[in-house]
């Protein structure tokens, strides 16, 4: 009955504004487009749940904040893990933003600022920026004319592999890897092949959205890279929505955070 009703109105020209409104409302309701501010996107809720899960397995934690920017997220994550034994590394490749971030996180000695970006290989890359302190800084020259925006500022930055950083710093395991690096998240994971193969990363949080258009990466890429060893969730404001199978409907280029959870430790949400 319902299918017949939908078929009777689907594709009708006069009803397209209504369907477009339902689509926009549905996408927003699923928490897409809510990730400009980590304090309302569900990221802090996710961090609290991750802490509870980790405490069942480990006594100390290695936390990686990739895309440190101003340091606000690192400080908030530090508060979530307050009272535990942890070390956090916050990565920021831009010199001027790194200096600001390093000054901000200095109040928490457990947070170590790192003046590198992470990627698939060691390289010097161009960072494109709207302004010197822009949160949209990316190694991809994003095409944003439709927002009446451009990326006129250029900065040469150093990129290293996550595997190499961990090996050089005697880090055997990453308990929580958070990535918000404007479309370069897949490349970061490609530089962590050894850690992934050895199942040495418990939780992987990555942002997905409009930047992935410019980096030409898709949710499918993350799915096939991680699906054998990780369970996927979409982060919403007060919990997690499990993703059991890949579907093209997941290719929504509005900012959202996903969480990949290592299967062998039997974490449950």
Q: Is the predicted pLDDT of residue 188 greater than 70, yes or no? A: yes
Burial class (CB in 10 A: 0-12, 13-18, 19+), 177: buried
Instruction: Categorize the per-residue pLDDT at 35 as very low, low, confident or very high, splitting at 50, 70 and 90.
Output: low
Q: Is the predicted pLDDT of residue 246 greater than 90, yes or no? A: yes
Q: Is the predicted pLDDT of residue 29 greater than 90, yes or no? A: yes
Q: Is the predicted pLDDT of residue 216 greater than 90, yes or no? A: yes
pLDDT given at position 267: 84
Q: Is the predicted pLDDT of residue 72 greater than 80, yes or no? A: yes
Mean pLDDT (whole number) for 201-218: 97
Q: Is the predicted pLDDT of residue 36 greater than 70, yes or no? A: no
Rounded Cα distance between 17 and 224, Å, is 35
Question: Which domains, and CATH codes, for the chain?
Answer: 40-115+162-265 (3.40.50.150)
Rounded Cα distance between 166 and 170, Å, is 6
At 149-168, the pLDDT tens digits run 888 889 999 999 999 999 99
The residue count of the chain comes to 269
Q: Is the predicted pLDDT of residue 189 greater than 80, yes or no? A: yes
The continuous run of DSSP H or E covering 53 comes out as helix 43-55
Q: Is the predicted pLDDT of residue 99 greater than 90, yes or no? A: yes
Q: Which of 6-15, 42-51, 175-184, 234-243 has the least mean pLDDT? A: 6-15
pTM of the model: 0.94
């Amino acid at each position: 009955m319902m299918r017949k009703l939908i078929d009777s109105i689907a594709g009708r020209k006069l009803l397209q504004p209504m369907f477009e409104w339902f689509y926009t409302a549905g996408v927003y309701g699923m928490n897409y487009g809510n990730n400009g501010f980590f304090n309302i996107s569900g990221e802090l809720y996710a961090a609290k749940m991750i802490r509870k899960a980790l405490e069942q397995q480990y006594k100390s934690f290695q936390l990686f904040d990739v895309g440190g920017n101003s340091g606000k997220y690192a400080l908030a994550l530090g508060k979530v893990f307050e009272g535990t034994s942890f070390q956090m590394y916050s990565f920021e490749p831009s010199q001027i933003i790194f200096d600001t971030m390093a000054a901000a996180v200095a109040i928490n000695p457990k947070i170590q600022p790192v003046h590198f970006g992470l990627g698939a290989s060691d390289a010097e890359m161009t960072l494109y920026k709207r302004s010197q302190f822009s949160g949209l800084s990316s190694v991809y020259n994003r095409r944003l004319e439709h927002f009446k925006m451009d990326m006129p500022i250029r900065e040469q930055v150093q990129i290293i592999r996550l595997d190499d950083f961990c090996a050089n710093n005697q880090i055997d395991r990453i308990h929580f890897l958070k990535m918000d690096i404007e479309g370069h998240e897949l490349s970061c994971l490609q530089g962590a092949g050894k850690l992934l193969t050895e199942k040495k990363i418990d939780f992987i949080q990555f942002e997905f959205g409009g930047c992935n258009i410019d980096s030409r990466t898709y949710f499918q890429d993350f799915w096939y890279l991680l699906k054998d060893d990780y369970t996927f969730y979409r982060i919403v404001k007060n919990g997690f929505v499990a993703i059991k199978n890949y579907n093209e409907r997941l290719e929504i280029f509005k900012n959202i955070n996903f969480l990949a959870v290592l299967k062998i430790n039997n974490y449950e949400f």
